[in-house]
Amino acid sequence: MKIEIILLIISAVIFISYITTIALRFGIQKSISESYYDLRPEWKFVFTLTLWGFAIPIMIVGNSFLFFLAGGLICFVGAAAGFKDIAMTYKVHMVGAYGGVLLGFVGLIFDLNYYAMPLVAALAIIIMWFNCRFKIWWIEVLAFSTVWIGLLMSNI
């Protein structure tokens, strides 16, 4: 099995394990980042490790400047986990979150030539924005899944 596939599996297992555990333990949150505030103080580091654990493999597998930046920005989200506490942390967290998703989609288009995937995901995001409870949570799940599937398809 190719190392890229192994890294993508690791990334997916980390992401799916975290969101499943959070959803079962605390219910679906307003956003994945909100789950940081549900964790006991001694477990808050798990949020950071989760984001790093799924973003770093994407940086490696993406093998491009855009995917490197996308993953790096998601790593900033993990580093700025307490986004409600300090104004600067909030800014870093939000730039990382929005920038990471946007650059992941741009990487799918320009690096992998997968034009339809981010466009369909963007359309789904628009529909979810108006019709979905816990919209940010599901948009984040969709964004991760879209980039992950694109990278998987490019490495099969």
H helices of the chain, in order, are 3-26, 45-62, 65-79, 87-110, 116-131, 135-155
Whether the CB-CB separation of 145 and 105 falls below 8 Å is answered with no
CA-based nearest residue to 73, from 151, 155, 147, 9:
147
Residue 117 has pLDDT above 90, yes or no: no
Q: What is the pLDDT of residue 123?
A: 86
Q: In which residue are the tokens 């979905």 written?
A: 132
Task: Give residue 9's domain range.
Answer: 3-155
Query: Which tokens is 104 given?
Result: 């992941």
For the stretch 16-65, pLDDT in tens is 999 999 999 999 999 999 999 999 999 999 999 999 999 999 999 999 99
Whether the CB-CB separation of 99 and 46 falls below 8 Å is answered with no
Q: In which residue are the tokens 């920038």 written?
A: 99
For the stretch 80-112, pLDDT in tens is 999 999 999 999 999 999 999 999 999 999 999
Domains identified in the chain, total number: 1
Query: What is the average pLDDT value for the chain, to the nearest integer?
Result: 95
Q: What is the pLDDT of residue 12?
A: 97
The upper half-sphere exposure of residue 30, i.e. CA atoms within 13 Å in the direction of its Cβ, equals 5
Of the chain, the percentage scoring pLDDT greater than 90 comes to 87
The helix or strand, by DSSP H or E, that contains position 133, with its residue range, turns out to be: none
